[in-house]
Chains A and B, each alone.
Chain A
Protein backbone atom coordinates (compact mmCIF):
# COMPACT_ATOMS: atom_id res chain seq x y z
CA UNK A 1 0.00 0.00 0.00
CA UNK A 2 1.51 3.36 -0.97
CA UNK A 3 2.68 5.67 1.79
CA UNK A 4 0.36 8.65 2.31
CA UNK A 5 0.44 11.79 4.43
CA UNK A 6 -2.56 13.94 5.27
CA UNK A 7 -2.93 17.10 7.29
CA UNK A 8 -6.26 18.14 8.78
CA UNK A 9 -6.45 20.57 11.71
CA UNK A 10 -7.66 18.90 14.92
CA UNK A 11 -10.14 21.66 15.70
CA UNK A 12 -11.69 24.56 13.79
CA UNK A 13 -14.17 27.32 14.49
CA UNK A 14 -17.56 26.89 12.86
CA UNK A 15 -17.60 28.65 9.49
CA UNK A 16 -13.80 28.83 9.19
CA UNK A 17 -12.01 27.77 6.02
CA UNK A 18 -9.39 25.22 7.03
CA UNK A 19 -6.49 24.05 4.89
CA UNK A 20 -6.43 20.36 4.00
CA UNK A 21 -3.30 18.78 2.57
CA UNK A 22 -2.73 15.31 1.17
CA UNK A 23 0.20 13.63 -0.57
CA UNK A 24 0.73 10.07 -1.78
CA UNK A 25 3.96 8.31 -2.69
CA UNK A 26 3.50 7.13 -6.26
CA UNK A 27 5.74 7.02 -9.36
CA UNK A 28 2.97 8.31 -11.72
CA UNK A 29 4.70 6.53 -14.60
CA UNK A 30 3.49 8.26 -17.75
CA UNK A 31 3.96 5.42 -20.23
CA UNK A 32 6.23 7.40 -22.56
CA UNK A 33 9.53 6.47 -20.98
CA UNK A 34 11.76 3.60 -22.01
CA UNK A 35 13.69 1.34 -19.68
CA UNK A 36 17.39 0.55 -20.11
CA UNK A 37 16.49 -2.21 -22.59
CA UNK A 38 14.61 0.24 -24.80
CA UNK A 39 11.15 -1.16 -24.13
CA UNK A 40 8.39 1.21 -22.97
CA UNK A 41 7.58 1.30 -19.25
CA UNK A 42 3.81 0.77 -18.96
CA UNK A 43 1.58 3.53 -17.62
CA UNK A 44 1.12 3.31 -13.88
CA UNK A 45 -0.81 6.17 -12.34
CA UNK A 46 -3.27 7.13 -9.65
CA UNK A 47 -6.43 7.89 -11.61
CA UNK A 48 -8.69 9.45 -9.00
CA UNK A 49 -8.49 11.32 -5.73
CA UNK A 50 -11.54 12.06 -3.58
CA UNK A 51 -12.00 13.80 -0.24
CA UNK A 52 -15.24 13.54 1.74
CA UNK A 53 -16.20 15.51 4.82
CA UNK A 54 -18.81 14.11 7.18
CA UNK A 55 -19.93 11.74 4.44
CA UNK A 56 -20.33 14.36 1.71
CA UNK A 57 -17.92 14.75 -1.19
CA UNK A 58 -15.97 18.01 -1.06
CA UNK A 59 -13.12 17.47 -3.51
CA UNK A 60 -12.60 15.18 -6.50
CA UNK A 61 -9.81 15.11 -9.05
CA UNK A 62 -9.21 12.94 -12.09
CA UNK A 63 -5.48 12.51 -12.57
CA UNK A 64 -3.78 12.08 -15.94
CA UNK A 65 -0.39 10.66 -16.95
CA UNK A 66 1.16 14.12 -17.34
CA UNK A 67 1.25 14.74 -13.58
CA UNK A 68 4.49 14.49 -11.67
CA UNK A 69 5.27 11.75 -9.16
CA UNK A 70 3.94 11.83 -5.60
CA UNK A 71 0.85 13.97 -6.34
CA UNK A 72 0.19 16.58 -3.67
CA UNK A 73 -3.11 18.41 -3.14
CA UNK A 74 -3.90 21.32 -0.91
CA UNK A 75 -7.35 22.88 -0.67
CA UNK A 76 -9.70 24.65 1.72
CA UNK A 77 -12.71 23.23 3.47
CA UNK A 78 -15.45 25.18 5.25
CA UNK A 79 -15.82 23.76 8.76
CA UNK A 80 -19.52 23.22 9.45
CA UNK A 81 -19.85 20.22 11.72
CA UNK A 82 -17.62 17.80 13.62
CA UNK A 83 -16.95 14.71 11.59
CA UNK A 84 -14.48 12.55 9.71
CA UNK A 85 -12.47 13.82 6.75
CA UNK A 86 -11.80 10.82 4.54
CA UNK A 87 -9.38 10.57 1.66
CA UNK A 88 -9.12 7.94 -0.99
CA UNK A 89 -6.90 7.45 -3.95
CA UNK A 90 -7.77 4.98 -6.69
CA UNK A 91 -5.02 3.75 -8.99
CA UNK A 92 -5.62 2.69 -12.58
CA UNK A 93 -6.23 -0.96 -11.74
CA UNK A 94 -8.76 -0.12 -9.07
CA UNK A 95 -6.64 -0.47 -5.95
CA UNK A 96 -7.82 1.94 -3.31
CA UNK A 97 -5.64 3.60 -0.70
CA UNK A 98 -7.40 5.27 2.19
CA UNK A 99 -6.60 7.72 4.94
CA UNK A 100 -8.81 9.44 7.47
CA UNK A 101 -8.75 12.17 10.11
CA UNK A 102 -11.29 13.75 12.44
CA UNK A 103 -12.13 17.45 12.39
CA UNK A 104 -13.66 18.81 15.60
CA UNK A 105 -15.73 21.97 15.11
CA UNK A 106 -16.00 24.09 18.21
Chain B
Protein backbone atom coordinates (compact mmCIF):
# COMPACT_ATOMS: atom_id res chain seq x y z
CA UNK B 1 0.00 0.00 0.00
CA UNK B 2 1.29 3.44 -0.88
CA UNK B 3 2.03 5.88 1.85
CA UNK B 4 -0.41 8.42 0.40
CA UNK B 5 -3.33 6.06 0.96
CA UNK B 6 -2.24 5.45 4.52
CA UNK B 7 -1.79 9.11 5.35
CA UNK B 8 -5.47 9.87 6.01
CA UNK B 9 -5.64 6.93 8.40
CA UNK B 10 -2.60 8.23 10.26
CA UNK B 11 -4.15 11.68 10.38
CA UNK B 12 -7.39 10.33 11.84
CA UNK B 13 -5.49 8.28 14.43
CA UNK B 14 -3.43 11.30 15.32
CA UNK B 15 -6.53 13.42 15.82
CA UNK B 16 -8.05 10.79 18.07
CA UNK B 17 -4.81 10.42 20.00
CA UNK B 18 -4.64 14.17 20.43
CA UNK B 19 -8.24 14.27 21.59
CA UNK B 20 -7.49 11.67 24.24
CA UNK B 21 -4.42 13.56 25.40
CA UNK B 22 -6.44 16.76 25.68
CA UNK B 23 -9.27 15.16 27.64
CA UNK B 24 -6.92 13.19 29.83
CA UNK B 25 -8.92 10.08 28.98
CA UNK B 26 -7.01 7.35 27.22
CA UNK B 27 -8.80 4.61 25.34
CA UNK B 28 -10.84 2.24 27.53
CA UNK B 29 -8.60 -0.36 29.19
CA UNK B 30 -10.35 -3.22 27.45
CA UNK B 31 -12.07 -3.65 24.09
CA UNK B 32 -15.71 -3.14 25.07
CA UNK B 33 -17.86 -6.25 24.94
CA UNK B 34 -21.54 -6.08 25.74
CA UNK B 35 -23.05 -8.17 28.52
CA UNK B 36 -25.14 -9.70 25.75
CA UNK B 37 -22.09 -11.63 24.56
CA UNK B 38 -21.83 -13.39 27.92
CA UNK B 39 -25.45 -14.57 27.94
CA UNK B 40 -26.77 -18.03 27.17
CA UNK B 41 -28.47 -18.38 23.76
CA UNK B 42 -31.86 -18.65 25.50
CA UNK B 43 -31.47 -15.33 27.30
CA UNK B 44 -30.23 -13.67 24.11
CA UNK B 45 -33.30 -14.96 22.33
CA UNK B 46 -35.53 -13.43 24.99
CA UNK B 47 -33.82 -10.06 24.59
CA UNK B 48 -33.99 -10.18 20.79
CA UNK B 49 -37.70 -10.99 20.67
CA UNK B 50 -39.45 -7.62 21.00
CA UNK B 51 -42.67 -9.31 22.04
CA UNK B 52 -41.40 -11.76 24.64
CA UNK B 53 -38.77 -9.38 26.07
CA UNK B 54 -40.42 -8.40 29.39
CA UNK B 55 -38.58 -5.07 29.36
CA UNK B 56 -40.80 -3.98 26.48
CA UNK B 57 -43.72 -3.82 28.94
CA UNK B 58 -41.91 -0.94 30.66
CA UNK B 59 -41.04 0.66 27.34
CA UNK B 60 -44.73 0.61 26.37
CA UNK B 61 -45.73 2.05 29.71
CA UNK B 62 -43.12 4.77 29.20
CA UNK B 63 -44.59 5.51 25.79
CA UNK B 64 -47.98 6.03 27.41
CA UNK B 65 -46.51 8.30 30.09
CA UNK B 66 -44.65 10.29 27.42
CA UNK B 67 -47.88 11.83 26.18
CA UNK B 68 -49.71 11.96 29.51
CA UNK B 69 -50.00 15.48 30.99
CA UNK B 70 -48.29 15.83 34.37
CA UNK B 71 -48.12 18.50 37.06
CA UNK B 72 -49.64 21.94 37.36
CA UNK B 73 -48.66 22.99 33.82
CA UNK B 74 -50.81 20.26 32.27
CA UNK B 75 -47.96 19.60 29.84
CA UNK B 76 -46.74 16.16 28.84
CA UNK B 77 -43.22 15.23 27.69
CA UNK B 78 -44.62 15.24 24.15
CA UNK B 79 -45.92 18.82 24.51
CA UNK B 80 -42.33 20.09 24.33
CA UNK B 81 -40.37 17.20 22.82
CA UNK B 82 -42.90 15.95 20.28
CA UNK B 83 -42.23 12.57 18.73
CA UNK B 84 -39.69 10.75 20.88
CA UNK B 85 -38.53 8.67 17.91
CA UNK B 86 -36.82 11.78 16.53
CA UNK B 87 -36.34 14.10 19.53
CA UNK B 88 -34.99 11.36 21.84
CA UNK B 89 -33.15 9.38 19.18
CA UNK B 90 -29.63 10.08 20.45
CA UNK B 91 -30.27 11.26 24.01
CA UNK B 92 -29.44 8.03 25.83
CA UNK B 93 -26.07 7.80 24.07
CA UNK B 94 -24.99 11.10 25.67
CA UNK B 95 -26.05 10.61 29.32
CA UNK B 96 -24.81 11.03 32.05
CA UNK B 97 -23.97 14.56 30.93
CA UNK B 98 -22.97 17.89 32.39
CA UNK B 99 -25.94 19.99 33.43
CA UNK B 100 -25.40 23.74 33.55
CA UNK B 101 -28.43 24.32 35.76
CA UNK B 102 -27.46 21.67 38.34
CA UNK B 103 -23.76 22.50 38.11
CA UNK B 104 -22.88 18.81 38.04
CA UNK B 105 -23.07 15.71 35.90
CA UNK B 106 -26.55 14.17 35.97
CA UNK B 107 -27.92 10.91 34.62
CA UNK B 108 -30.98 10.35 32.48
CA UNK B 109 -33.25 9.71 35.46
CA UNK B 110 -32.28 13.06 36.97
CA UNK B 111 -32.79 14.77 33.62
CA UNK B 112 -36.31 13.35 33.46
CA UNK B 113 -36.97 14.67 36.97
CA UNK B 114 -35.60 18.07 36.01
CA UNK B 115 -38.14 18.14 33.19
CA UNK B 116 -40.85 17.17 35.66
CA UNK B 117 -39.91 20.23 37.69
CA UNK B 118 -40.60 22.35 34.61
CA UNK B 119 -43.95 20.57 34.25
CA UNK B 120 -44.77 21.56 37.83
CA UNK B 121 -44.83 17.91 38.83
CA UNK B 122 -43.26 16.11 41.77
CA UNK B 123 -39.98 14.34 40.97
CA UNK B 124 -40.37 10.59 40.46
CA UNK B 125 -38.78 8.27 42.99
CA UNK B 126 -35.73 6.28 42.02
CA UNK B 127 -36.65 2.72 40.92
CA UNK B 128 -40.33 3.67 40.85
CA UNK B 129 -42.26 2.11 37.98
CA UNK B 130 -42.96 5.42 36.19
CA UNK B 131 -39.31 6.55 36.31
CA UNK B 132 -38.06 3.14 35.14
CA UNK B 133 -40.67 3.17 32.37
CA UNK B 134 -39.79 6.65 31.12
CA UNK B 135 -36.05 5.96 31.30
CA UNK B 136 -36.53 2.69 29.45
CA UNK B 137 -38.70 4.37 26.81
CA UNK B 138 -36.25 7.22 26.21
CA UNK B 139 -33.23 4.89 26.17
CA UNK B 140 -35.02 2.51 23.83
CA UNK B 141 -35.19 5.29 21.22
CA UNK B 142 -31.39 5.13 20.97
CA UNK B 143 -31.34 1.36 20.50
CA UNK B 144 -28.52 0.36 18.16
CA UNK B 145 -26.69 3.69 18.37
CA UNK B 146 -23.18 3.73 19.88
CA UNK B 147 -22.74 5.19 23.35
CA UNK B 148 -20.61 8.35 23.30
CA UNK B 149 -20.57 10.36 26.52
CA UNK B 150 -18.53 13.53 26.91
CA UNK B 151 -15.90 13.12 29.61
CA UNK B 152 -13.94 16.30 28.96
CA UNK B 153 -14.51 19.90 30.00
CA UNK B 154 -16.81 20.29 33.01
CA UNK B 155 -17.44 16.51 33.15
CA UNK B 156 -13.73 15.69 33.61
CA UNK B 157 -13.77 15.75 37.41
CA UNK B 158 -16.82 13.56 37.55
CA UNK B 159 -15.16 11.13 35.16
CA UNK B 160 -12.02 10.94 37.29
CA UNK B 161 -14.08 10.27 40.43
CA UNK B 162 -16.00 7.54 38.62
CA UNK B 163 -12.77 5.96 37.46
CA UNK B 164 -11.34 6.08 40.98
CA UNK B 165 -14.52 4.42 42.29
CA UNK B 166 -14.13 1.62 39.74
CA UNK B 167 -10.59 0.80 40.90
CA UNK B 168 -11.15 1.36 44.62
CA UNK B 169 -11.27 -1.82 46.70
CA UNK B 170 -14.28 -1.88 49.01
CA UNK B 171 -16.38 -4.01 51.33
CA UNK B 172 -15.55 -6.97 53.55
CA UNK B 173 -14.41 -8.93 50.49
CA UNK B 174 -12.08 -6.04 49.67
CA UNK B 175 -12.76 -6.15 45.93
CA UNK B 176 -12.90 -3.34 43.41
CA UNK B 177 -15.18 -3.38 40.37
CA UNK B 178 -12.05 -3.96 38.27
CA UNK B 179 -11.01 -7.06 40.23
CA UNK B 180 -13.91 -8.96 38.66
CA UNK B 181 -15.04 -7.00 35.62
CA UNK B 182 -11.60 -6.19 34.24
CA UNK B 183 -9.25 -8.89 35.58
CA UNK B 184 -11.71 -11.78 35.26
CA UNK B 185 -14.23 -10.89 32.56
CA UNK B 186 -15.15 -14.08 30.74
CA UNK B 187 -14.09 -16.31 33.66
CA UNK B 188 -16.55 -18.23 35.78
CA UNK B 189 -17.79 -17.18 39.19
CA UNK B 190 -19.40 -20.41 40.29
CA UNK B 191 -21.88 -21.16 37.46
CA UNK B 192 -21.98 -17.59 36.17
CA UNK B 193 -19.79 -15.96 33.57
CA UNK B 194 -18.37 -12.64 34.72
CA UNK B 195 -19.09 -9.84 32.25
CA UNK B 196 -17.19 -6.63 31.70
CA UNK B 197 -19.87 -4.80 33.66
CA UNK B 198 -20.96 -2.74 30.67
CA UNK B 199 -24.06 -0.59 31.08
CA UNK B 200 -25.21 -0.23 27.46
CA UNK B 201 -28.46 -2.14 28.04
CA UNK B 202 -29.82 -0.23 31.05
CA UNK B 203 -32.44 -0.06 32.38
CA UNK B 204 -32.33 -3.85 32.19
CA UNK B 205 -34.83 -6.60 32.85
CA UNK B 206 -32.94 -8.75 35.31
CA UNK B 207 -34.10 -12.35 35.77
CA UNK B 208 -32.84 -12.37 39.35
CA UNK B 209 -34.98 -9.35 40.22
CA UNK B 210 -37.91 -10.45 38.08
CA UNK B 211 -38.28 -6.81 37.11
CA UNK B 212 -36.57 -3.78 35.61
CA UNK B 213 -33.68 -2.08 37.33
CA UNK B 214 -31.53 1.00 36.74
CA UNK B 215 -27.74 1.23 36.69
CA UNK B 216 -27.91 2.55 40.25
CA UNK B 217 -29.79 -0.51 41.48
CA UNK B 218 -27.17 -2.69 39.80
CA UNK B 219 -24.30 -0.74 41.41
CA UNK B 220 -25.95 -1.08 44.81
CA UNK B 221 -26.43 -4.79 44.20
CA UNK B 222 -22.77 -5.22 43.22
CA UNK B 223 -21.62 -3.22 46.24
CA UNK B 224 -23.68 -5.42 48.52
CA UNK B 225 -22.29 -8.51 46.80
CA UNK B 226 -18.80 -7.55 47.97
CA UNK B 227 -20.36 -6.68 51.35
CA UNK B 228 -19.82 -2.96 51.03
CA UNK B 229 -22.28 -0.34 52.15
CA UNK B 230 -24.16 0.69 49.00
CA UNK B 231 -24.63 4.36 48.13
CA UNK B 232 -28.08 5.83 47.67
CA UNK B 233 -29.67 5.61 44.24
CA UNK B 234 -29.04 8.88 42.42
CA UNK B 235 -26.01 9.69 44.58
CA UNK B 236 -23.18 11.55 42.89
CA UNK B 237 -20.88 8.55 43.46
CA UNK B 238 -23.12 6.39 41.28
CA UNK B 239 -23.69 9.07 38.65
CA UNK B 240 -19.90 9.48 38.36
CA UNK B 241 -19.48 5.71 38.14
CA UNK B 242 -22.13 5.49 35.44
CA UNK B 243 -20.35 8.21 33.46
CA UNK B 244 -17.10 6.28 33.70
CA UNK B 245 -18.76 3.01 32.70
CA UNK B 246 -20.54 4.58 29.72
CA UNK B 247 -17.19 5.87 28.54
CA UNK B 248 -15.58 2.51 29.26
CA UNK B 249 -18.09 0.95 26.87
CA UNK B 250 -18.02 3.76 24.31
CA UNK B 251 -19.04 2.56 20.88
CA UNK B 252 -21.18 -0.29 22.21
CA UNK B 253 -24.72 -0.08 20.87
CA UNK B 254 -27.52 0.86 23.27
CA UNK B 255 -29.56 -2.31 23.89
CA UNK B 256 -32.35 -1.03 26.14
CA UNK B 257 -34.30 -2.94 27.30
CA UNK B 258 -31.62 -5.60 27.71
CA UNK B 259 -32.34 -8.89 29.46
CA UNK B 260 -29.72 -10.06 31.94
CA UNK B 261 -29.44 -12.92 34.41
On A, residues with C-beta under 8 Å from B are 3, 5, 7, 21, 23, 25, 27-28, 68-70, 72, 74
List, in ascending order, chain B residues with CB within 8 A of A68's CB.
207, 210
Is B52 interfacial (CB-CB < 8 Å)? yes
Q: Are B52 and A72 in contact (CB under 8 A)?
A: yes
In the complex, residue of chain A having the shortest beta-carbon distance to the beta carbon of B61: A3
Q: Are B57 and A23 in contact (CB under 8 A)?
A: yes
Top 10 nearest A-B pairs (CB, nearest first) are A69-B210, A25-B57, A70-B54, A3-B57, A3-B61, A21-B51, A72-B52, A7-B51, A68-B210, A69-B211
Is B106 interfacial (CB-CB < 8 Å)? no
List, in ascending order, chain A residues with CB within 8 A of B61's CB.
3, 25
B225–chain A nearest beta-carbon distance, Å: 17
B68–chain A nearest beta-carbon distance, Å: 14
Can you sample 29 A-B contacts with CB below 8 Å? A3-B57, A3-B60, A3-B61, A5-B51, A5-B56, A5-B60, A7-B51, A21-B51, A21-B52, A23-B52, A23-B54, A23-B57, A25-B54, A25-B57, A25-B61, A27-B210, A27-B211, A28-B210, A68-B207, A68-B210, A69-B54, A69-B210, A69-B211, A70-B54, A70-B57, A70-B210, A72-B52, A72-B54, A74-B52
In the complex, residue of chain A having the shortest beta-carbon distance to the beta carbon of B58: A25
List, in ascending order, chain B residues with CB within 8 A of A74's CB.
52
Q: Which of B56, B210, B211 has the most CB of A within 10 A?
A: B210
Give A75 to B162 CA distance when docked, in angstroms. 48
Which chain B residues in 43-79 approach chain A with CB under 8 Å? 51-52, 54, 56-58, 60-61
- Known A3-B61, A23-B54, A68-B210; further 13 A-B contacts with Cβ < 8 A: A3-B57, A3-B60, A5-B56, A21-B51, A25-B54, A25-B58, A27-B210, A28-B210, A70-B54, A70-B57, A70-B210, A72-B52, A74-B52
Give A3 to B58 CA distance when docked, in angstroms. 9
Give A70 to B61 CA distance when docked, in angstroms. 14
Which chain B residues in 177-220 approach chain A with CB under 8 Å? 207, 210-211
B229–chain A nearest beta-carbon distance, Å: 15
B37–chain A nearest beta-carbon distance, Å: 24
A26–chain B nearest beta-carbon distance, Å: 9
List, in ascending order, chain B residues with CB within 8 A of A23's CB.
51-52, 54, 57
Give A28 to B54 CA distance when docked, in angstroms. 13
List, in ascending order, chain B residues with CB within 8 A of A27's CB.
210-211
Contacts A21-B51, A72-B52 given; indicate if A5 touches B211 (C-beta within 8 A). Answer: no
B259–chain A nearest beta-carbon distance, Å: 11
List, in ascending order, chain A residues with CB within 8 A of B58's CB.
25
In the complex, residue of chain A having the shortest beta-carbon distance to the beta carbon of B56: A5
Give A21 to B57 CA distance when docked, in angstroms. 14
Give A27 to B209 CA distance when docked, in angstroms. 10
List, in ascending order, chain A residues with CB within 8 A of B56's CB.
5
Give A69 to B58 CA distance when docked, in angstroms. 13
